[in-house]
């Protein structure tokens, strides 16, 4: 299986979109090499701006340009844009409802050796709480290209998370991608794993293991964290009676919480959450860290067994 | 409305009228920010009744000059100015800060003539830079003005933006600092001194003009000088008095964010004739 990071998908597609649309601009906080915004810089330098190590300025400037009809993509590491420039995202982007696309790489523990300061584990939580914005986490390189185009085509504030480490390409070019609509990755009626990003691959591995134990696992790729696909969640709850969520994010406030909010209101069933357990990451290889923080297929399989015991 | 040969006496009369209307608006609202509104009256009059290109009946006219009010709490002077400039009926000032009103407590773009919602400090200059940079890319001649508070200059984001504007040679942006010397809990110089302010802006690469921000002649001269400056952004440091025009409000931090009651309004209006 071919391995590629989602950040590369963004980098390739934003160049294609930029060549088609003169109003696309890319603003960077001096990390365009890492976010792959560099591809745009090399292809269309006159519409690329490195504003230096100044994330607040990147977001504010992007909002100002959007007032003139530009579609600015603001890019940096997720920790720096979503955490440091949060008030700018809240006021300049969300409260003003500006057509700014925030695309951040270096998310999750799979950032790896740089350690906890660069590993953003809270972006879903802090972005999805803001009104007006859509929160997207593409599952692989191919889906990252589709998601980049989708957030360009959809007016309004958008946040997209990409990853640094190469992961398997598990979708095809002609698979559908609609913001807010989960994709069924594997059918099953005993339990549903709702995952996003790199955790979808782990969920599919877990499903294969569990099949040998006689458990048929449905796997949903919840690439849009907000607005969440409540219909797919409720349908899964009704048809499979138990849910496991899996995300490379803090357990508080992310995909698991978003899913649980839907279930608590519409169809309560047992839920287990595979996520980072309210702690910071550390240095290591992506695979070492996925194991250390209990984000591997074996952890998802264990969560499935646990939730099945709670299922009535 | 706008004139190329300004009648200074008429502008001064307008300033008195604006100060009265600001305080009347605040008294009816029962809350709001008089100090930093009264200090900026001449700045806003110089912009809207001398310098700016706009059509009040077509507030989204694409070639209009842009104004980003970074010190979003000075909504009373902004709304009084826009109402008097014909953007919306003056009667609407009575709804300021009331539920259902367009006139939100901090400036909001649902008010005709307001470009951008603000209220959290330190945001406006980056947004204004975005407009100025975009104007250059689109080869548009409109200018962008950004109204900054002095206390707001304690926000680091302002200096990120200050560096950006000179780095990109944005000579189509003019920042105006309402340097009224007072912030919410005291004097700026006592809380976190921003001096030497002129040297700071100069060292960041800005064409820096220091004026008396209550003197229309100086304001008009500075705004004209900005229009002629090439290759660098311009900042006008307008020395002003917080609460200007009302003796018991002047330079008093207590009047940063408190509306006058009826008796205080009556006292103030006696001084604004």
Mean predicted lDDT score pLDDT of chain B = 97
The H-or-E segment that residue A291 falls in is helix A286-292
B206-235 burial string, b = 16+ CB within 10 Å, else e?
Answer: bbbbbbebbbbebbbebbeebeeeeebbbb
Quote the CA–CA distance of A56 and B103 in Å, as a whole number: 27
The whole-number average pLDDT for the span B142-169 is 98
SS3 of residue B120 by DSSP: coil
| CA atoms of B157 and B162, how far apart (whole Å) | 9
Q: Which domains does chain A have, with CATH numbers?
A: 3-168 (3.40.50.970), 183-310 (3.40.50.920)
- Cβ-defined contact of A52 to B120 (cutoff 8 Å): no
Q: How far apart are CA A226 and CA A128, in angstroms?
A: 6
Q: Do A96 and B115 touch (CB under 8 A)?
A: no
Consecutive H or E run containing B123? none
Show residues of chain B in contact with A21, CB under 8 Å.
none
Can A55 be counted among the known catalytic residues?
Answer: yes
Helix (H) or strand (E) holding B160: helix B156-167
Which residues on A lie below 8 Å from B138 (Cβ)?
68
Whole-angstrom CA distances from B221 to A244, B13, B64, B209, B233 are 68, 19, 21, 10, 16
**What stretches of A20-64 adopt beta strand conformation (E)?**
24-28, 48-50
Asked if residue B268 has pLDDT above 60, the reply is yes
Residue A311: partners with Cβ closer than 8 Å, 6 or more residues away: A191, A241, A242, A269, A270
What token pair was written down for B47? Answer: 């912009």
For tokens 């287990």, the residue is A272
- Please tell me what DSSP assigns to residue B257: S
| B249 assigned to some structural domain | yes
Q: Provide the number of structural domains found in chain B.
A: 1
Contact A56 B115 (CB under 8 A): no
Closest CA to B90 of B41, B30, B37, B20: B20
Residue B235 lies in a domain: yes
| CA torsion, ordered A149, A154, A159, A160, to nearest 10 deg | -20
Q: How confident is the model at residue B4 (pLDDT cuts 50, 70, 90)?
A: low
- What are the backbone dihedrals phi and psi of residue B219, each rounded to the nearest 5 degrees, phi first? -60, -45
Tell me how far apart the 2 most distant CA atoms of chain A are, in Å. 61
- Judge whether B191 lies within some domain: yes
Instruction: Tell whether the model's pLDDT for residue B2 goes beyond 60.
Output: no
pLDDT in the model for residue B1 = 44
Query: What is the domain range of residue B239?
Result: 8-270
Return the CATH number at B258: 3.40.50.970
Nearest to A162 by CA among A132, A139, A180, A178: A139
Residues 6+ apart with CB under 8 A from A119: A79, A106, A107, A108, A109, A111, A280, A281
The average pLDDT across B97-119 equals 98
The position carrying tokens 């933006």 is: B161
Residue A95: name the closest of B119, B133, B131 by CA: B119
Which chain B residues are Cβ-neighbours of A51 within 8 angstroms?
Answer: 160, 164
- Binding-site residues on chain B for chain A (CB distance < 8 A): 66, 68, 109, 115-120, 122-123, 125-135, 137-138, 156-157, 160-161, 163-164, 167-168
B156, containing H or E segment:
helix B156-167
Please answer yes or no on whether A87 and B123 come within 8 Å at the CB atom. yes
Q: Do A54 and B163 touch (CB under 8 A)?
A: yes
Cβ neighbours of A32 (radius 10 Å): 22
Residue carrying structure tokens 């979708």: A171
Measured from the Cβ of residue A302, the count of other Cβ atoms closer than 10 Å reads 16
Q: Does residue B115 register a pLDDT over 90? A: yes
Say if residue B112's pLDDT is above 50.
Answer: yes
| pLDDT beyond 50 at B107 | yes
Q: Residue B89: count other Cβ atoms within 10 Å of its Cβ.
A: 8
CA dihedral A57, A58, A61, A67 (to 10 degrees): -140
Strand order in the sheet with B207-212: B66-69, B144-149, B173-179, B234-239, B207-212
How distant is the Cα of A276 from the closest Cα of chain B, in angstroms?
32
CA distance A207 to chain B (A): 48
For residue B2, being part of any structural domain is answered with no
Q: How far apart, in Å, do the first and last CA atoms of chain A sit?
A: 38
Looking at the partner chain, which of B109, B119, B164 has a beta carbon nearest the beta carbon of A51? Answer: B164
Task: Indicate whether this model's pTM tops 0.95.
Answer: yes
CA distance A255 to A246: 8
Pairing, β A167-168 against β A3-4: antiparallel
**Chain A residues bordering chain B (beta-carbon distance below 8 Å):** 25, 47, 49, 51-52, 54, 56-57, 59-68, 70, 72, 87-88, 90-92, 95-96
> Quick one: residue B84, left, alpha or beta (phi over 0 = left, psi -120 to 50 = alpha)?
alpha
In a domain, B3, yes or no: no
CA-based Rg of chain A, rounded to a whole angstrom? 19
Residues of chain A by 3-state class (helix, strand, coil), percent to 5: 45, 20, 35
CB pairs under 8 A between A and B: 95
Q: Nearest CB to B130: which of A54, A61, A90?
A: A61
Contact residues, chain A, for B125 at CB < 8 Å: 60
The residue written with tokens 């085509």 in the block is A153
For residue B211, the number of C-alpha atoms closer than 13 Å in the C-beta half-sphere is 24
Contact flag A56-B122 (C-beta cutoff 8 Å): yes
Q: Cα(A204)–Cα(B239) distance, rounded to whole angstroms?
A: 66
For residue B151, the distance in angstroms to the closest alpha carbon of chain A comes to 18
With a cut of 0.90, is the ipTM above it? Answer: yes
Q: How many CB atoms lie within 10 A of CB A31?
A: 21
Beta-strand relationship, A134-136 and A167-168: unpaired
Each residue's pLDDT expressed in tens, for chain A with a length of 312 residues: 899 999 999 999 999 999 999 999 999 999 999 999 999 999 999 999 999 999 999 999 999 999 999 999 999 999 999 999 999 999 999 999 999 999 999 999 999 999 999 999 999 999 999 999 999 999 999 999 999 999 999 999 999 999 999 999 999 999 999 999 999 999 999 999 999 999 999 999 999 999 999 999 999 999 999 999 999 999 999 999 999 999 999 999 999 999 999 999 999 999 999 999 999 999 999 999 999 999 999 999 999 999 999 997
């Amino acid at each position: 299986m071919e391995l590629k990071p989602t950040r590369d998908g963004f980098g390739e597609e934003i160049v294609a979109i930029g060549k088609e649309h003169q109003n696309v601009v890319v603003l960077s906080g001096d990390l365009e090499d890492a976010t792959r915004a560099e591809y745009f810089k090399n292809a269309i330098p006159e519409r690329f701006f490195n504003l230096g190590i100044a994330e607040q300025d990147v977001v504010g400037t992007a909002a100002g340009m959007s007032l003139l009809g530009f579609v600015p993509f603001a890019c940096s590491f997720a920790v720096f844009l979503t955490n440091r420039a949060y008030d700018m995202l809240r006021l300049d982007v969300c409260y003003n409802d500006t057509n700014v696309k925030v695309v951040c790489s270096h998310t999750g523990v799979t950032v790896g050796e740089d350690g906890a300061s660069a590993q953003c584990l809270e972006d879903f939580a802090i972005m999805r709480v803001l009104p007006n914005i859509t929160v997207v986490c593409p599952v692989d390189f191919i889906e990252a290209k589709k998601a980049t185009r989708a957030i360009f085509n959809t007016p309004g504030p958008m946040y997209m998370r990409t990853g640094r480490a190469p992961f398997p390409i598990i979708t095809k070019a002609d698979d559908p991608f609609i913001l807010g609509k989960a994709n069924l990755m594997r059918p099953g009626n005993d339990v549903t794993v709702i995952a996003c990003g790199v955790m979808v691959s782990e969920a599919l591995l877990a499903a294969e293991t569990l099949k040998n134990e006689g458990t048929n696992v449905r796997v949903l790729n919840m690439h849009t964290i907000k607005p969440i696909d409540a219909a797919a969640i409720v349908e899964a709850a009704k048809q499979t009676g138990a849910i496991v969520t899996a995300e490379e994010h803090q357990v508080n406030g992310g995909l698991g919480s978003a899913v649980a909010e839907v279930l608590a209101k519409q169809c309560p069933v047992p839920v287990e959450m595979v996520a980072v357990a309210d702690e910071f990451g550390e240095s290591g290889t992506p695979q070492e860290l996925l194991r250390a923080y209990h984000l591997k297929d074996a952890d998802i399989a264990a969560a499935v067994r646990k939730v099945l015991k709670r299922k009535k | 409305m706008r004139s190329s040969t300004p009648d200074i006496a008429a502008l001064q009369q307008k300033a008195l009228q604006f100060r009265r209307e600001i305080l009347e608006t605040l008294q009816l609202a029962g809350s709001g920010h008089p100090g930093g509104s009264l200090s900026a009256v001449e700045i806003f009059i110089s912009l809207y009744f001398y310098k700016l290109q706009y059509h009040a009946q077509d507030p989204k006219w694409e070639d209009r000059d842009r104004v980003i009010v970074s010190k979003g709490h000075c909504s009373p002077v902004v709304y009084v100015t826009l109402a008097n400039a014909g953007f919306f009926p003056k009667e609407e000032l009575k709804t300021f800060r009331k539920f259902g009103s367009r006139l939100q407590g901090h400036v909001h773009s649902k008010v005709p003539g307001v470009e951008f919602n603000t209220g959290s400090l330190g945001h406006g200059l980056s947004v204004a830079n975005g407009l100025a940079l975009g104007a250059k890319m689109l080869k548009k001649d409109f200018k962008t003005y950004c109204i900054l508070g002095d206390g707001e200059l304690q926000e680091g984001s302002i200096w990120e933006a200050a560096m950006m504007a000179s780095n990109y040679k944005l000579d189509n942006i003019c920042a105006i600092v309402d340097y009224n010397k007072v912030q919410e809990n005291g004097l700026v110089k006592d809380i976190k001194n921003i001096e030497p302010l002129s040297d700071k802006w100069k060292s960041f690469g800005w064409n820096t003009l220091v004026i008396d921000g209550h003197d229309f002649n100086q304001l008009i001269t500075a705004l004209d000088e900005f229009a002629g400056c090439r290759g660098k952004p311009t900042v006008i440091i307008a020395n002003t008095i917080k609460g200007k025009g009302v003796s018991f409000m002047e330079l008093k931090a207590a009047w940063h964010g408190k509306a006058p009651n009826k008796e205080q309004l009556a006292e103030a209006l006696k001084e604004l004739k």
